[in-house]
């Protein structure tokens, strides 16, 4: 097993929780004072009182779509390019700025390992003096810089390969003989297949940290057949590292510098441990202080601690997208609308809106689990659904536990040929 990056990873869970919650009020106050966006979003919030997860859960979730909308609106008015979310501006404090699809613009500050990816590299076995072949993009998006700055923090040397030019990349690997790879899993496979085609061995690569795509078990096993142990990192261009895989291969360990919650899609409300929901992250980054940032990704908390000794919370990894908005008969239907209806009926524990039928003949069915019998009539629930969504909806009760634990609030089963 590789050693942790530092003692923070193995501290007692209570010590970590106390440290994170102790830092939270100052981060919220900093965001209110120096980020125009959060001055508005958190208006009236007493930062000093947010000292528990319960208090944090009372704050609004800012989702990626809202960040994009605010950036676009402020830019259209000739204002701050970051929509008022960043607390630093162009100049010495911001050596780079990146653009993700949208476009959403993200700042990079001066701190070493700014995106905190070094933990993920260390967990994957990367060591000082390793030569790392970095096949993440170096233009527009921050992925290339995320991995390069992390590798430098570990004392590694980096070959900035970027994307494309597959034959030239294979030649460089064959001649430079890097020990490690970072990039997407699909591109690593492409490089290996191209090396076999060209008969240029690239057997020096024995470890890889992959991200940006799912790593299915079949592809992981294929890499192992090639002599490469591949591990996953989960992060975003807004937050940097969120969680990372260890050599135990039992879920992903949450990074030390973030507060992670799992909330019910379409709401601000945390779900019970083990239930699938949307990943919401509060970062302690003072340059880009995102408070309760909704990633739009689904995951769930795993019980227990990582066998490697890393004591932070573990999540299952990426389990799909939380934004299940769909269109029915020309009307958008959102998870938040389902949540609004459920708040009116206290006996409902869980629900799923199933959409079926063919185009122009859509059918909505709300399946509900109730704690002590339904309590309210299905007709009343159907009427509430029609009031909120402006669409007809049937309602049926199912047994407790019958609905899958997969985070789906809206299940669109329609198939268009």
Got the DSSP string for 150-169?
HHHHHT-EEEE--SS-HHHH
Flag whether pLDDT at 245 surpasses 90: yes
DSSP 61: P
Per-residue pLDDT, 376: 66
Write down the pTM of the prediction.
0.86
Residue 344 placed within a domain: yes
Residue 332 placed within a domain: yes
Per-residue pLDDT, 101: 84
Task: List beta partners, residue 326.
Answer: 333
List, for residues 117-167, the tens digit of each pLDDT value. Answer: 999 999 999 999 999 999 999 999 999 999 999 999 999 999 999 998 999
Per-residue pLDDT, 329: 76
Flag whether pLDDT at 189 surpasses 80: yes
Angle at 110 between CA 108 and CA 111, to 5 degrees: 105
List, for residues 314-332, the tens digit of each pLDDT value. Answer: 999 888 887 787 878 767 7
| Residue 360 pLDDT level (bands cut at 50, 70, 90) | low
How far is C-alpha 377 from the geometric centre of its chain's CA atoms?
38
Residue 402 placed within a domain: yes
CATH code for the domain of 353: 3.30.300.30
Collapsing DSSP to helix, strand or coil, 22 comes out as helix
Who's near 269: CB < 8 A, 6+ residues apart? 57, 263
Give how many domains the chain has, as a whole number. 1
List, for residues 24-58, the tens digit of each pLDDT value. Answer: 999 999 999 999 999 999 999 999 999 999 999 99
Query: What is the bridge-based pairing of β-strands 394-398 and 361-370?
Result: parallel
Per-residue pLDDT, 357: 84
Residue 338 placed within a domain: yes
Q: Residue 354, exposed/middle/buried by CB under 10 A (0-12, 13-18, 19+)?
A: middle
Percent of the chain with pLDDT over 70: 97
Q: Find the mean pLDDT for residues 300-312.
A: 96
- Per-residue b or e along 226-252, where b marks 16 or more CB atoms closer than 10 Å to that residue's CB: bebebbbbbbbbbbbbbbbbbebebbb
Q: Find the mean pLDDT for residues 64-89.
A: 94
Q: Find the mean pLDDT for residues 404-410.
A: 90
CB 155 within 8 A of CB 128: yes
Task: List beta partners, residue 354.
Answer: 365, 411
Flag whether pLDDT at 417 surpasses 50: no
Residue 81 placed within a domain: no
Q: Which residue range is the domain that position 340 belongs to? A: 326-412
Tokens of 238: 């807004």
- Per-residue b or e along 142-178, where b marks 16 or more CB atoms closer than 10 Å to that residue's CB: bbbbbbbbbbebbebebbebbbeebeebbbbbbeeeb
| Residue 210, Ramachandran bin (φ over 0: left; ψ between -120 and 50: alpha; else beta) | beta
Flag whether pLDDT at 293 surpasses 60: yes
Q: Find the mean pLDDT for residues 228-235.
A: 97
């Amino acid at each position: 097993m590789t050693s942790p990056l530092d003692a923070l990873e193995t501290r007692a869970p209570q010590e970590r929780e106390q440290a994170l919650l102790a830092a939270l009020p100052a981060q919220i106050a900093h965001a209110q004072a120096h980020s125009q966006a959060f001055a508005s979003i958190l208006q009236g919030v007493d930062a000093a009182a947010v000292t528990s997860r319960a208090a944090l859960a009372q704050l609004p979730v800012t989702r990626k779509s809202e960040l994009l909308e605010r950036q676009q609106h402020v830019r259209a008015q000739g204002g701050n390019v970051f929509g008022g979310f960043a607390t630093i501006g162009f100049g010495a404090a911001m050596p780079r700025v990146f653009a993700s699809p949208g476009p959403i613009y993200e700042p990079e500050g001066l701190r070493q390992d700014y995106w905190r990816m070094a933990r993920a590299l260390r967990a994957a076995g990367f060591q000082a003096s390793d030569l790392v072949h970095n096949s993440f993009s170096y233009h527009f998006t921050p992925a290339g810089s995320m991995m390069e700055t992390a590798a430098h923090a570990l004392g590694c040397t980096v070959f900035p390969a970027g994307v494309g030019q597959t034959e030239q990349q294979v030649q460089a690997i064959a001649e430079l003989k890097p020990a490690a790879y970072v990039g997407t899993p699909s591109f690593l496979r492409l490089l290996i297949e191209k090396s076999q085609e060209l008969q240029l061995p690239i057997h020096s690569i024995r470890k890889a940290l992959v991200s940006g795509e799912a790593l299915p078990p079949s592809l992981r096993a294929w890499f192992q057949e090639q002599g490469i142990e591949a591990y996953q990192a989960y992060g975003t261009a807004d937050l940097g590292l969120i969680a990372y895989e260890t050599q135990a291969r039992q879920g992903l360990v949450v990074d030390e510098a973030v507060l992670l919650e799992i909330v019910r899609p379409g709401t601000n409300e945390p779900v019970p441990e083990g239930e699938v929901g949307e990943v919401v992250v509060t970062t302690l980054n003072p340059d880009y202080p995102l408070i309760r940032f909704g990633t739009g990704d689904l995951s769930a908390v795993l019980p227990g601690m990582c066998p490697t000794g890393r004591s932070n919370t573990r999540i299952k990894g990426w389990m799909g997208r939380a934004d299940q908005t769909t269109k029915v008969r020309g009307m958008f239907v959102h998870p938040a609308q389902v949540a609004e209806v459920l708040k009116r009926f206290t006996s409902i524990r869980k629900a799923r809106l199933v959409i079926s039928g063919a185009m122009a003949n859509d059918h909505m069915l709300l399946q509900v689990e109730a704690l002590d019998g339904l309590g309210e009539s299905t007709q009343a629930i159907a009427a509430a659904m029609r009031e909120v969504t402006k669409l007809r909806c049937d309602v049926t009760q199912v047994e407790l536990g019958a609905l899958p634990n997969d985070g789906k609030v809206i299940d669109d089963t329609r198939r268009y040929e």
